[in-house]
Amino acid sequence: MKGFSFELRKQDGSARLGRITTPHGEVTTPVFMPVGTKASVKGLTPEELEAMGVEIVLANTYHLYLRPGHNLVKELGGLHGFMNWRRPILTDSGGFQVFSLCKLRKITEEGVQFSSHLDGTRYTLTPESAIEVQEALGADIIMPLDECTPYPADREYAKDSMDLTHRWAKRCREAKQPNGQALFGIVQGGMYADLRRESAETLVAMGFDGYSIGGLSVGEEKGLMKEMVAATVERLPKDKPRYLMGVGTPEDLVFAVEMGIDMFDCVMPTRNARNGTLFTRHGKLVIKNAQYERDPRPIEENCGCYTCTRYSRAYLRHLFMAGEILAPRLNTIHNLFYYTSLMKSMRQAIEEGALAEFKKRFHEARSPSELTAAL
């Protein structure tokens, strides 16, 4: 089995153009990873994802651990075979979902006990079992168990939480088999820049295949998020990929790429699509609005996605209002195409040393006058 590597190909300011190699192929960075929580990017086939240029997807360990169970997935060929996605996959550790979805959770040094959000069954996830589960799932890139520090948290809580995450990271590293899967470290530290720096340094000293930034986009102001990203990035090595977990809006992707982030994931394009909120270069379009009832235009003029090249806003609005299941599918295709195209444009801009110019155009297109005319 081929292993994992990262090649930094070019820089434009702090922004980076890179290439990740995994046992299931290459990923060009910066990259956005669509979320396939339960081994399915909701409504879409692998072929549709490939057609829009998706190179890597994320699946959620927590959900798959509960249902159908990691051993079943392993029996059916691991995630790649199970969901028939032959390109790279990243799994999270399940930690974030335990903290966001589960009641009755109890954190100890050993790990975290929680009740399933499905039926209340009691489970325990430890650093070792989180790795075992992810080894059974067989993703190319896996995450250590961490505590996603709540927001707001006082400095003492954030520090203790971060230290626990570090001890768990060490145990994950020790538990992991030498099987070609890459293990990232997850930087925590709440909203304290010095803790973020300390966390990055501690994890880098342990040595991981890449570094994730966790605990952001949890309700804090954008300025604070940027400050934490900056504090973290300055202590991360250049030769390893950097993954900003759970982020974000198109605006977030633009500033984070500029700051040197390589990887992103977020449910926003897929979840918003199902709710009828569509991304365009001019801003968001809410398809159920009456103004689109007889609108023959595509979601976005000149968009090359399957949906925009074939269907009118009027038809998409009809499907949405009528509760037709083709609606979430067509909307998801558009939103993911928008996200992958945005990343592609940024990669090209970095290649040309023109990211600042790109960013200027990106924000101009979202001006109030452009928005009113287009949507």
Catalytic residue numbers, as ranges: 92, 265
For residues 210 and 205, give the distance between their C-alpha atoms in angstroms, rounded to a whole number.
Answer: 12
Contact 346, 254 (CB under 8 A): yes
Q: If binding is defined by CB under 8 A, does position 68 make contact with a second copy?
A: yes
Q: Single out the residue of 14, 40, 113, 116 in contact with a second copy (rule: CB under 8 A).
A: 40
For residues 46 and 50, give the distance between their C-alpha atoms in angstroms, rounded to a whole number.
Answer: 6
What is the CB neighbour count within 10 angstroms for residue 206? 13
How many residues at the interface with a second copy, by CB under 8 A?
A: 35
Q: Are strands 25-29 and 15-22 parallel, antiparallel or unpaired?
A: antiparallel
Q: If binding is defined by CB under 8 A, does position 318 make contact with a second copy?
A: yes
Span near a second copy by CB under 8 A; candidates 9-17, 93-101, 176-184, 289-297: 289-297
Q: If binding is defined by CB under 8 A, does position 260 make contact with a second copy?
A: no
Contact 90, 139 (CB under 8 A): yes
Q: If binding is defined by CB under 8 A, does position 314 make contact with a second copy?
A: yes
Measured from the CB atom, the residue of 238 and 310 that comes closer to a second copy is 310
Span near a second copy by CB under 8 A; candidates 247-255, 318-326, 339-347, 363-371: 318-326
Q: If binding is defined by CB under 8 A, does position 303 make contact with a second copy?
A: no
Report cis status (omega within 30 of 0) of the bond before 152. Answer: yes
Q: Single out the residue of 9, 19, 38, 226 in contact with a second copy (rule: CB under 8 A).
A: 38
Measured from the CB atom, the residue of 43 and 276 that comes closer to a second copy is 43
- The residues, ordered by sequence, that sit 6+ positions from 348 with a Cβ below 8 Å of its Cβ are none
Between residue 70 and residue 109, which ones bind a second copy under the rule CB under 8 A?
72, 75-76, 82-84
Span near a second copy by CB under 8 A; candidates 27-35, 39-47, 127-135, 190-198: 39-47
Between residue 320 and residue 359, which ones bind a second copy under the rule CB under 8 A?
321-322, 324-326, 328-329
Minimum distance between the CB of residue 112 and a second copy, rounded to whole angstroms?
23
Minimum distance between the CB of residue 2 and a second copy, rounded to whole angstroms?
24
Minimum distance between the CB of residue 76 and a second copy, rounded to whole angstroms?
5
In a 13 Å sphere around the CA of 65, the CA atoms on its Cβ side amount to 27
What is the CB neighbour count within 10 angstroms for residue 325? 8
Helices 222-233 & 193-206 angle (0-180, nearest 10): 40
Q: If binding is defined by CB under 8 A, does position 297 make contact with a second copy?
A: no
Tell me the C-alpha to C-alpha distance, in Å, between residue 201 and each of 15, 178, 211, 213, 287.
21, 24, 11, 13, 46
Minimum distance between the CB of residue 39 and a second copy, rounded to whole angstroms?
7
Q: Are strands 263-265 and 277-280 parallel, antiparallel or unpaired?
A: unpaired
DSSP code of residue 195? H
Q: Single out the residue of 167, 222, 310, 363 in contact with a second copy (rule: CB under 8 A).
A: 310
What is the CB neighbour count within 10 angstroms for residue 117? 16
What is the CB neighbour count within 10 angstroms for residue 44? 22
**Residues of this chain that bind a second copy (CB under 8 A):** 38-40, 42-45, 63, 67-68, 72, 75-76, 82-84, 293-294, 296, 306, 310-312, 314-315, 317-319, 321-322, 324-326, 328-329
